[in-house]
Amino acid sequence: MSQELADLFDLLLFDLDGVVYIGPHAVPGAIEGIRAAHEQGVRCCYITNNASRPPAEVVEHLRELGIDAAADEVVTSAQAGVTLLGEHVPAGSRILAIGGPGVFAALRERGYVPVVSADDEPAGVLQGIGMDLSWAALTEATFAVTAGLPWIATNLDATFPTTRGLAPGNGSMVEAVAHATGRRPIGVGGKPEPALLNEAIARSGATRPLMIGDRLDTDIAAGNRLGIPTLLVMTGVTSASELACAAGAEVPTYVATDLSCLRPGTSWHDLQWDKR
């Protein structure tokens, strides 16, 4: 089989944090690799478990870094979470929104009414990360979840990378509510659950997607669960020792130092991960 990128894949699904950028800065090799993919005619979609920002803000960030992207090429776990929420609550319902602007925007774009108190008679709860997430917001979530409302988490990442190190992720906040209520979310929008990847693939109509990420337990596991090839880049949270211990759904198809592997001339055969 040809080793050219466009012959192997018709869509690249990029995780963002730790793959394309960390905080405000591009990951080394990322800009060059994505530009090379564009030049080879391969579509790119940016999928993120980070629900704190709406797609327009993500696009602005990508463009500031020098990546040409459109809002419909960004899929967030908040959007995937709203899709799941629609299976449990009527259209146009009030929803208790826990998290940042991305959670509120995802609800509004699908016609739901975000509210901030369990006393506002919500029909469900959507919980995602927010940089200013407060004890008060978690308390409202606890009240609503205790009352038995349908509860969707955007994702369950315990941490996310920042320029100063790993910070608590949405999964840590979800665990706080779960511990207080004795309940678990009935659905999860983000990786490794399939909703986020399914939404991105459906938008593009792709048949040969490649999942690219830096986390074994979310990015790589998500791709493997859907039966699509995966590429692990060693620019985020996964260490060489963790990769060596990967098993089952967390074993990547390919491994590369960074996204510069997307440039022409790469031997994808050589990037295949042979776990020993």
Cβ atoms 154, 199 nearer than 8 A:
no
**Residues annotated catalytic, as ranges:** 15, 17
pLDDT band at 1 (very low <50, low <70, confident <90, very high): very low
Domain 5-49+191-271 = CATH 3.40.50.300:
no
Mean pLDDT of the chain: 94
178-201 mean pLDDT:
96
- Does 35 score more than 70 pLDDT? yes
CB neighbour burial string for 29-39, b if at least 16 within 10 angstroms, e if fewer: bbbbbbbbbbe
We find that the CATH architecture of domain 84-188 is: 3-Layer(aba) Sandwich (3.40)
pLDDT band at 128 (very low <50, low <70, confident <90, very high): very high
226-230 mean pLDDT:
97
Within 164-213, strands assigned E span 165-168, 187-188, 209-213
Cβ atoms 187, 209 nearer than 8 A:
no
pLDDT band at 275 (very low <50, low <70, confident <90, very high): low
In the chain, CATH 3.40.50.1000 sits at: 5-49+191-271, 84-188
Cβ atoms 132, 101 nearer than 8 A:
no
Look up residue 162 and give its two tokens.
Answer: 């920042």
Return the number of other C-beta atoms located less than 10 Å from residue 84's C-beta. 21
